[in-house]
Amino acid sequence: MIIFKNISKIYPPNVVALKNINLHIKPKEFVSIVGRSGTGKTTLVKILTAEESSTKGRIIVGGWDITYIKPREIPVLRRQIGVVFQDFKLLAKKTVFENIAFALQACGTDQQKIKEIIPQVLKIVSLTGKENRYPIQLSGGEQQRVAIARALVHRPKILVADEPTGNLDSINTQEIMDLLLKINEFGTTVVLVSHNKEVINSINKRVITIDNGEIISDQKIGKYLL
C-alpha cells in the first residue's frame, strides 16, 4: 500500500530530517509512527501527502510512484489519502456540512450525491444534527471528528492522522482513537503519528519508532519505547 525506499530529507543548508527510511505498510494495516518532537514524523507525513518532496529515495502509494509527482497530480493524490491534523484545519467560515462538502465539491461531485454522502459520514463520526454549526461552535473533539469525516468522504484507502489527539483531553482522545480503530476495521489503512505514550500502548498495533530521522524500531504489536 505504502512503500518508502531509502527516503532521506535534508533541509538547506544541511539539516537532516529523515535518513534512509525504508518502510512497507500493507493494506488495512494500522500503523503508529512514534517519536519525540522534531524527529521527522511530520516530515514523513508531508512527503506522503506531497507537501514536501524527498531529497533521496522513492515513495510508492497504492502502486503509484509519487517521488516526482507533477503539481497538477497532487490534488488527485490528496483525494486518495485522507489526512487529519492536530490543529484540525477546518475552514472557519464554513459550517460542518460545508467543510465536509468542500472536499467533494473540489473534485466535482454533484450536489445530490453530496447530500447523500454527508449524512452517512456524519453518522460514522457521531455528529448527526450538528451539520449547520460553525467550527467555533464545536468542542475540540467534535472539530477533530469533522476533520475525520472530511478525510473519509472520498472513501480513501489510506487515512493519515498526524497527532490527531494532540489538542484533546483524555475523554476526547479516547473517542478519536476508537473512531480511528473503527475506520481501520472497515478496511482503511490507518497511519497514526503520535507521541502520546498511553494512546500507543493501549491499541496493541504495529509501532514504528523514529529517532533523529531514522527508524530505530519496528514492532508488529508494539509499545512506545522512548
Partner 1 sequence: MISSSIFRIILFAWQSFWRNIWLSIVTITIIVLTFISINFLITVNVVSDAAINIVKDKVDISVYFRPDITEPQVDEVQTYLSSLTQIKEINYISQQEALEKFRQAHREDQVIIESLEELETNPIGATLQIRAKNIDDYPEIISILDNSKYNDLILDKNFDDNQAYIGKIKEFSDNIRKVGLFSLGVFAIIALLIVFNTIRVAIYTHREEIGVMKLVGATNWFIRSPFLVEAVFYGVVSCVIAIIIIYPLLNFIQPHINSFFLTEEFNVINYFNQNFWKIFGLEILVIIFLNIITSVVAIRRYLKV
At residue 219, what is the residue type? Q
Q: Which is nearer to partner 1, 5 or 79 (CB)?
A: 79
Q: Which is nearer to partner 1, 40 or 156 (CB)?
A: 156
Is residue 103 involved in binding partner 1 (CB under 8 A)?
yes
Between CA 98 and CA 116 the distance in angstroms is 14
- Contact set for partner 1, span 150-179 (CB under 8 A): 150, 154
Is residue 76 involved in binding partner 1 (CB under 8 A)?
yes
Is residue 125 involved in binding partner 1 (CB under 8 A)?
no
On whether the CB atoms of residues 153 and 116 are closer than 8 A, the answer is: no
Is residue 49 involved in binding partner 1 (CB under 8 A)?
yes
Is residue 139 involved in binding partner 1 (CB under 8 A)?
no
Is residue 79 involved in binding partner 1 (CB under 8 A)?
yes
Is residue 224 involved in binding partner 1 (CB under 8 A)?
no
HEC string of the chain equals CEEEEEEEEEECCCEEEEEEEEEEECCCCEEEEECCCCCCHHHHHHHHCCCCCCCEEEEEECCEECCCCCHHHHHHHHHHEEEEECCCCCCCCCCHHHHHHHHHHCCCCCHHHHHHHHHHHHHHCCCCCCCCCCHHHCCHHHHHHHHHHHHHCCCCCEEEEECCCCCCCHHHHHHHHHHHHHHHHCCCEEEEEECCHHHHHHHCCEEEEEECCEEEEEECCCCCCC
Q: How far is the CB of 104 from partner 1 (least distance, A)?
A: 9
Q: How far is the CB of 6 from partner 1 (least distance, A)?
A: 26
Stretch that binds partner 1, among 16-24, 81-89, 167-175, 208-216 (CB under 8 A): 81-89
Q: Which is nearer to partner 1, 72 or 220 (CB)?
A: 72
Q: Which is nearer to partner 1, 107 or 226 (CB)?
A: 107
Stretch that binds partner 1, among 2-10, 87-95, 172-180, 206-214 (CB under 8 A): 87-95
User: Given the rule CB under 8 A, which residues bind partner 1?
Assistant: 49, 51, 72, 74-79, 83, 85, 89-94, 98, 102-103, 105-108, 110-111, 150, 154
